[in-house]
Amino acid sequence: MARISDLIEDIIKQMIDQNDGRVEITRSELADRVNCVPSQITYVLATRFTNNQGYLVESRRGGGGWIRIRRVSLAEPTHYVMHALNAMGDALSQHQAEVLVRNFLDYEIIAEPAARLIVAAVSDRALIEVDADRRDRIRMAIFKNMLTSLIVG
Give the whole-angstrom CA distance, residue 83 versus residue 95: 19
Q: What is the pLDDT of residue 116?
A: 95
3-state secondary structure 51-104: HHHCEEEEEECCCCCEEEEEECCCCCHHHHHHHHHHHCCCCCCHHHHHHHHHHH
Q: How many residues does the chain have?
A: 153
For 4-71, the fitting CATH number among 3.40.50.300, 3.40.640.10, 3.30.56.130, 3.40.47.10 is 3.30.56.130
Tell me the backbone φ, ψ of residue 66, rounded to 5 degrees.
-145, 170
Q: Per residue of the chain (153 residues), give pLDDT as tens.
A: 458 988 999 999 999 989 988 899 888 889 999 999 988 998 898 888 887 677 878 887 766 678 889 887 665 667 777 777 777 788 999 998 998 898 888 878 888 999 999 999 999 999 999 998 999 999 999 998 888 887 665
Helix (H) or strand (E) holding 26: none
pLDDT at res. 139: 95
Residue spans per domain, the chain: 4-71, 77-152
Residue range 77-152 forms a domain whose CATH class is mainly alpha
Provide the pLDDT for residue 1: 40
Residue 3, judged by CB atoms within 10 A of its CB (0-12, 13-18, 19+), counts as exposed
Burial class for 136, CB neighbours closer than 10 Å (0-12, 13-18, 19+):
buried
